Structure 1
């Protein structure tokens, strides 16, 4: 079995797809080595094991809304597209969505995957509870307010197989999406917050060499459908057509006609009701402190001529700080610098060290599920509470049933750092 993009082949001895929580419990109890696998949207070996891979995507969603607590409980392997559709039908919403709504809930939150917005936490910050199958096959809940909760949400599957998730919800709302063209690089670097703060969720798409920047997608949360928006953003002009594509030839993006719609139809970049791009790509991503954005972006631009020939697109997005121990946004307001490269492994592996060197003065944190070449000890050192996280893993799973080769290297490197 390979990942979504076909760039990584899993080395597990088997891949199991149980259809009930009880089956997961039995599988975990009898397996000496086992790890959870989501919808295979990781681009590295973080989820892999030499033992058994288990996916919960075949277990029914079994939606349950608690209106008093404003919490949705759902099967961990459920895709965000299904969650968003159900919530919208019931008059509820999530605070944020990733660009691709076809990823599983547990996979996204376990790796700190994100949506966008200066004031929006990543997807993991919506978690209010996790039901896990522990190494003995027994079920347990970890909920917001519990001592280990902040270390259990973004946990890379190291604390057990997540089977149910509680997510914070809120009343449904409207989002309008507009595309602006003509943003000068100099204007962006002189005032990054003026651009990233222009809407509820903002994405900047660039190839690092074209000036002005190709596109800025602004998603605004509206009180009413007829609320006016500006035709200009920091010198960029609003495009009144619906012709903007993230990647040329991929036409399943959400509408940009400036028409207010349900949050679920406009917060993602790719439509819920269609198949996204075929995944013939390699992704890397680095999180930095938003205060360092101008200098960090300028440093990467110095490599633009070398990056552009191998690039499909770069997306720049922001997120609020959180307190989750190994979330890429823990403790700092963050900018995510995301590279979607052409499927050329050698080229990407050659570029990553150069990009990482350019970003090193800004203490980058790589996305847990994407390609990078940073030493494991350096990665662990970027998280002030990584020692606490490692202790939690050792206490919860002393025999390392849920630890794979990549996560073992991370945990062991943290000891010698």
Structure 2
């Protein structure tokens, strides 16, 4: 059953009742009888987006095995399926997802609903592979939509405001191998002068740093062996040096729970995420936030954030910089633009972090930063609505699909629906 705290332990859920249905009929009965209901996945969110003032449902036990359609190149899974488990299934059948987030432990529905992403200039976030989905609406009925359906692009990244995802169909492709090489101490001057070349040097690229000092601490390159000429595991990379041993993004941490490095080729399922499913990631000792800006503003954002490093460093564990392709999903942080994300892993000092976030948001305001919906940020509805061209359309869609606001909660009231 659901634990009463989220993954990081910084939020205690306020739900008055918790249920874990195993069938659609059970879920339908719960939804129709509840005055207020929200679904929760693997609890890897740092704000109250999944919280409920009434009923909270956990979909981990919802019945249904993955269904692979080789002709359509899709796989359909229940909403509570974890990406790591789905990856294992696909590997057995010779298929792959185009990308993974840092953690394979997160649920498909939670990642899709919040536009969670991996990395790569040409890679859309995880929600962009959704080909169809099934959504239980407030009347307990299941609504199935696909890319031909009206408002489909507004229903994918839905923040749980429209109903409860029950099954999701994702595009897949033939399995491929990836090698991962890590380089250390890439000078900031080199990053600034060669940003496009660095982020296009591999299928997926992550720059880790403290934002202070003369160099980025690590650059992780994930190269597809079927389509790219990977950088060799030895030698220089834009002034950086090949790592002599496996690395963890956080200084001084063991790399034992990180995905395979040192240029050893292996399955996409074991390389595209930063961390391994076999290890339970640490929790309770970090907070996270992320801001995404249009790619053309990346260096200006970097300059602003590095200029604030004296304020940021005392609270920061590490910052990760990565790129994502544009998409057409209304509330996606990459809607209509190529984006660069600045992801922050903070020390567990929430009041101090939130005070700093307000300052960072003000400093970045001219660049129109879009926050990751599942992480900490202080922007409210009046500010957010100017960042998403289809924001008003999404509000209208929520009113049509959930006129009684059964799926609304405090987060949505503050940030989206009013």
1:236 is aligned to 240
1:396 is aligned to 401
- 2:128 aligned residue (94, 106, 125): 125
Correspondence list, 1:47-126, <5 A: 47-126=50-129
2:359 is aligned to 354
Could you tell me which runs of 5 or more consecutive residues in structure 2 were left unpaired when the two chains were aligned: none
Correspondence list, 1:229-268, <5 A: 229=232, 231-246=235-250, 248-251=252-255, 252-268=257-273
Pairwise CA RMSD of aligned residues? 1.6
- Cα distance in 1, alignment partners of residues 277 and 104 from structure 2: 6
- Cα distance in 2, alignment partners of residues 114 and 164 from structure 1: 20
- Cα distance in 1, alignment partners of residues 251 and 135 from structure 2: 38
- Cα distance in 2, alignment partners of residues 227 and 356 from structure 1: 36
- Cα distance in 1, alignment partners of residues 415 and 360 from structure 2: 21
* 2:134 equivalent to 1:134: no
How much does 1:61 deviate?
4.9
1:47-82 C-alpha deviation (Å, 9 max, x unpaired): 112111111112245111000000000011010010
- Cα distance in 2, alignment partners of residues 248 and 375 from structure 1: 36
- Cα pair 1:201 1:220 within 8 Å, conserved: yes
1:287 is aligned to 292
- Cα distance in 2, alignment partners of residues 281 and 404 from structure 1: 25
Does the C-alpha gap of structure 1 residues 211 and 131 become closer, same or farther in structure 2, counting only changes over 3 Å? same
How much does 1:324 deviate?
0.2
2:177 is aligned to 174
- Cα pair 1:112 1:327 within 8 Å, conserved: yes
- 1:271 aligned residue (264, 273, 276): 276
- Cα pair 2:9 2:283 within 8 Å, conserved: no
1:299 is aligned to 304
- Cα distance in 2, alignment partners of residues 351 and 412 from structure 1: 26
- Cα distance in 1, alignment partners of residues 355 and 71 from structure 2: 52
Corresponding pairs, count: 413
**SS of alignment partner, residue 381 of structure 1:** coil
- Cα distance in 2, alignment partners of residues 18 and 250 from structure 1: 38
1:322-370 C-alpha deviation (Å, 9 max, x unpaired): 0000001100100110110010012101210111122111000111111
**SS of alignment partner, residue 164 of structure 1:** strand
- Cα distance in 2, alignment partners of residues 228 and 97 from structure 1: 21
Does the C-alpha gap of structure 1 residues 301 and 13 become closer, same or farther in structure 2, counting only changes over 3 Å? same
Does the C-alpha gap of structure 1 residues 27 and 148 become closer, same or farther in structure 2, counting only changes over 3 Å? same
How much does 1:245 deviate?
4.1
- Cα distance in 1, alignment partners of residues 236 and 184 from structure 2: 9
Could you tell me which runs of 5 or more consecutive residues in structure 1 were left unpaired when the two chains were aligned: none
- Cα distance in 2, alignment partners of residues 53 and 301 from structure 1: 40
- Cα distance in 1, alignment partners of residues 231 and 288 from structure 2: 36
- Cα distance in 2, alignment partners of residues 97 and 108 from structure 1: 10
How much does 1:228 deviate?
6.5
- 2:43 aligned residue (40, 43, 62): 40
1:11 is aligned to 14
- Cα pair 1:157 1:402 within 8 Å, conserved: yes
**SS of alignment partner, residue 134 of structure 2:** strand
Question: TM-score under structure 1 normalisation?
Answer: 0.96
241-250 or 352-361, which deviates more: 241-250
Does the C-alpha gap of structure 1 residues 13 and 247 become closer, same or farther in structure 2, counting only changes over 3 Å? farther
